[in-house]
Amino acid sequence: MTVCENPMLGGDMHLRASTLDDLLQKVFHKIVKSKVRLTATKGPNSEISGVCLELTQPRARLSRSESKGTIYSCIGEFLWYASKSNNADHMIYYLNEYKKYCEEDGTVWGAYGPRIFGGSPSQYEIVFDILKRKNTSRQAVIQIFDKKDVIAEHLDIPCTCTLQFMIRDDFLNLIVHMRSNDAYWGLPHDVFSFTMIQEILANHLGVKLGNYKHFVGSLHVYDSVQDRVARYLGEGMQSTAAMPAMPAGDPWHEIEILLEIEKMLRTKGLSSVDDAIEMAASLQPYWADMARLLAIFALTRPNDKQRDRLRRVVELQSCMSSPYYKTYIRKKRNALVRAQEQASLLDASNFGGDE
């Protein structure tokens, strides 16, 4: 009897690593070799399915590579969730691509923030109360995908189905179920935000941070970014550094202040940098570093007023409490230097020569 080989079945689909970069390396190698080809709304892609990704050190949630070290948009998206907002402008500030998912009223239908943190009580608060009452509960589940998401068509519907939090041996573990995941663009952002929520809840509950498992129905890479994937794989292995640990205790007071700082920088621009840094001085060093990163992002966004910004970035870098962020700040500094050089060349051209 001849058995037809199902291309969806071969190979180990439990990929385990201690850092996001090690996990991405394994994911991309698997997808590049996949025989499953699909044509989807967003374009042709290669797919693996029924995948379990396990990150044993959730604080190693950021890529340390040159091409995938996207800390600013990751922080921006996490704070978008925490703000409970579905307004597209928040994310367009960090990622212009979000314009594609914007409804006519300026909102994003599938925004996670209102679903996780919105309402009274929010799903986050319900999960906290469940685990506070019974730390072995299997009911601490946040539902994101809902039947209303497919009754009518929308530009963006959630890729995430559920977040399940489980305390075992005093460690808070998180199991995420995804119906679909873009491995190049979406996966790094999802891992960052969900492990941040995991660590926040662990500290809020007074337990230790456990491991992170990310189950995906369809994990894919679009043909349009295959060259970027090859470039990333060509960078080789990255450092195993992880983000510093969050301060112990309930972090929500600090997060609320950080949300005010983020909104100020995003809506008022460079004129608000001094006020934002002054507000950051009241934060614990961990959260103050995030505020400084947001200020650096504001200072290095495209802008006609190039003068003095590089000095401010250097000053902010010198104030950072953790050396972990140095590599991400250096990338922004280098980009700003290039922008200043181009602006100088343009000025010289406009005035007919160099001075």
Which backbone phi and psi does 3 adopt, to 5 degrees? -105, 125
Question: How many other CB atoms sit within 10 Å of the CB of residue 87?
Answer: 16
Q: Is the pLDDT of residue 347 over 70?
A: no
Lowest mean pLDDT among 172-176, 208-212, 343-347: 343-347
Q: Note the pLDDT of residue 109.
A: 96
Question: pLDDT tens digits for 4-39?
Answer: 455 555 456 999 999 999 999 999 999 999 999 998
For the chain, where are the alpha helices, taking DSSP H only?
A: 20-33, 71-82, 88-94, 113-117, 123-133, 148-151, 186-205, 226-234, 252-268, 273-280, 285-299, 309-319, 326-350
Instruction: Name residue, tokens 């939090």.
Output: 165
| 37-56 mean pLDDT | 93
What mean pLDDT, rounded, does the chain reach? 92
Q: Note the pLDDT of residue 355.
A: 29
- Give the tokens for residue 137: 């509960």
Question: pLDDT tens digits for 315-332?
Answer: 999 999 999 999 999 999
| 333-351 mean pLDDT | 69
| 70-84 mean pLDDT | 97
Instruction: Name residue, tokens 């995003």.
Output: 266
**DSSP string for residues in 231-246:** HHHHT-------PPPP
Q: How far is CA 16 from CA 67, 159, 195, 229, in A?
A: 22, 21, 16, 19
Q: Note the pLDDT of residue 1.
A: 41
Nearest to 42 by CA among 220, 228, 229, 227: 220
Q: Is the pLDDT of residue 342 over 80?
A: no
d(CA 260, CA 219): 35
Q: Which residues, listed in sequence order, are joined to residue 99 by a DSSP beta bridge?
A: none
Q: Note the pLDDT of residue 2.
A: 42
Question: pLDDT tens digits for 177-188?
Answer: 999 999 999 999
Q: Note the pLDDT of residue 72.
A: 97
Q: Are 56 and 240 in contact (CB under 8 A)?
A: no
Question: pLDDT tens digits for 198-240?
Answer: 999 999 999 999 999 999 999 999 999 999 999 999 998 888 8
pLDDT above 90: percentage of residues in the chain: 82
d(CA 81, CA 308): 33
